[in-house]
Amino acid sequence: MRDRSAPVSRRRMLGIGAAIGAAAAGGLALSAAWARRPAETGAELRSEVPLPQAFSVPLPIPPVLAPVASTADGDRYELVQREVDAEILPGFATRLWTYDGVFPGPTIESRRGRHTTVLHRNELPVPTVVHLHGGRTPAASDGYPTDLVLPDGWNGHGGHSMADDRAAVANLQREYGFPLDQRAAMLWYHDHRMDFTAPAIWRGLAGIHFVRDDVEDALGLPAGDRELPLMIADRAFDADGQLAYPSVDPTLTGEHGVTEPYLAGVLGDVVLVNGAPWPVHEVDTGLYRLRILNGSNARHYELEALADDGRALPLVQIGSDQGLLAAPVRHRSVPIAPAERYDLLIDFGDLPVGAEVRLANRLGTGRTADVMQFRVVRAGERTPIPETLADDLPEWDRSAAAVVRDLAFRAGRMDDGRHGWLIDGLPFDPARPDVTARLGDIEVWRLVADVHHPIHLHLVGFRILSRGGAEPLPHDAGLKDTVALRPGESAEIITRFDGYRGRYLFHCHNAEHEDMGMMANLEIV
């Protein structure tokens, strides 16, 4: 019998070491094969109809809405929210929920400081509420999720899961007032109904709202046909060519949320730009200004412009969510999360007439790797890119912060035990004040995410101080209203809560997360 005190043989030690090594290597190989690289939060719906060939449908530009009245005090607009059948995929009539019968909704053009009033009439089968994303808006017109406009014949209750004593509910129609005392920027308006924002946006309730000012005008940036609003949004279609969406209750009147496989977010397999699948747009060899909005519920993109000779055209970023940067930033590609905006210049001047430039998505696979195409069809004028842009960006120093807050965005369980998404461990409750900030105070927020969470603050713009404990990334420049956190990532943001007192929100702009708890109250006092 072997002596118990005898040392372990070299052979056995090697065997144990090899076993640990094999387990580690096996785990790494499994992870490399199984995990999504790059990471993606959400599950993709597959369309059940044949999809059109890419770059065959012309790019639509949403119509600019004419005011019904313009006075010295401001402009007044009227919109009707109604259902239409529209041809998104060639040969199919798809039922949409729209602002004024078009998707995206009509574009509103405003001047800084000029009061804009928009009357919304709800002719949809469900309550609605409109939020102007990025707007510096008094709380009463900010589109709080329970401030519903009920459709004709709705039997009184709000149709959402939470009671809210402070809700301002209207019948059939209401006016929203926007002072728009803010920097020139591309804002967007969309439905923000409690529990049902994601399916409402998916069905078409989103549009662009520009704010213009003298700072922007002085730069002589490409305008008119050379300034293109591009709302990128993914969708999926069922066997009848209707929009597919995995709602628990497809009537959007009862149980909220999506079915289990899609809890992390709903991704479509069709990329729409301004409501057209993989469109094509004819350009000349001049400079173009692309005003890009990611209007998708959950899909992130990393955009790059690839010419047919294989070159990547530089994307010159001149603006962010909340308007112009101080100086242009040149990118090879830009990541864009839901609700983020980019103001980009792209110069087709080095390309011959006949060239094609593909706006591609580096995060996509298969057909979602394409977004749209530019076709250079004629010679244009060369326009220089300004070296400096805006000098009116707010600068806040972290030493001036009255409060530093840590906020965690992660998965968890809702009050009813269902899977949901939580902020600091809690699902949204209109009755609970989460953050109370004093008007005029500067605050630093430190945000931590478990998976992708694009975090949006209502009322204010903010600067990004750090990302992952290090310097912000090049595309974090300027004034933001949505910061995209990647899995395990954190960011520090700084802002000053000024403008108006009242009840606002901050939330994840993955629209499915937002509907399943990931919102919180921001009370300005």
Partner 1 sequence: MQRQSTIAAPPGTAVSGWVLRAAATAQLAAGFAQPVFAGVYLSGDFDGLAWHVVGADLVSYLGIAQVGAAVAVWVRVRRAWPFWASLALVAGASAQYLAGMDGALWLHFPLGVALVAGIAAVFAAVWARPLPRRTKAAPDA
Residues that bind partner 1 (CB under 8 A): 5, 7-8, 13, 16-17, 20, 23-24, 27-28, 30-32, 35-37, 39, 406-408, 410, 424-425, 446, 448, 450, 468-469, 486-490, 492
CB of 23 to partner 1, least distance (A): 7
CB of 26 to partner 1, least distance (A): 9
| Dihedral of the alpha carbons of 434, 440, 446, 449, in degrees to the nearest 10 | 50
Residue 7 or 310: the one with the smaller Cβ distance to partner 1 is: 7
CB of 464 to partner 1, least distance (A): 14
Residue 27 or 90: the one with the smaller Cβ distance to partner 1 is: 27
Residue 20 or 400: the one with the smaller Cβ distance to partner 1 is: 20
Spell out the residues 6+ positions from residue 119 whose beta carbon is closer than 8 angstroms to its own.
76, 77, 78, 79, 173, 174, 175, 176
Q: Which residues pair with 189 in a beta bridge?
A: 132, 207
CB of 7 to partner 1, least distance (A): 5
Residue 36 or 330: the one with the smaller Cβ distance to partner 1 is: 36
| Separation in Å, CA 390 to CA 215, 319, 327, 431, 462 | 7, 9, 7, 40, 16
Tell me whether strands 315-320 and 341-347 are parallel, antiparallel or unpaired. Answer: antiparallel
CB of 444 to partner 1, least distance (A): 10
Rounded to whole angstroms, the Cα distance separating 420 from 447 reads 18
Instruction: Judge whether 169 and 150 are in contact, CB under 8 Å.
Output: yes
Instruction: Judge whether 464 and 435 are in contact, CB under 8 Å.
Output: no
CB of 447 to partner 1, least distance (A): 8
Residue 356 or 450: the one with the smaller Cβ distance to partner 1 is: 450
Residue 61 or 407: the one with the smaller Cβ distance to partner 1 is: 407
Cα dihedral across residues 356, 359, 364, 368: positive or negative:
negative
Residue 369 or 448: the one with the smaller Cβ distance to partner 1 is: 448
CB of 351 to partner 1, least distance (A): 34
CB of 525 to partner 1, least distance (A): 24
CB of 371 to partner 1, least distance (A): 24
Instruction: Quickly tell me which residue has 């009184």 as its tokens.
Output: 156
Rounded to whole angstroms, the Cα distance separating 469 from 492 reads 8
Q: Side chain identity at 67, as an amino acid letter?
A: P
Q: Which DSSP category does 418 fall into?
A: -
Rounded to whole angstroms, the Cα distance separating 66 from 78 reads 9
Residue 36 or 382: the one with the smaller Cβ distance to partner 1 is: 36
Residue 28 or 68: the one with the smaller Cβ distance to partner 1 is: 28
Token readout for 351 is 């390309």
Burial of residue 484, with CB atoms counted within 10 A of its CB: 0-12 exposed, 13-18 middle, 19 or more buried: buried
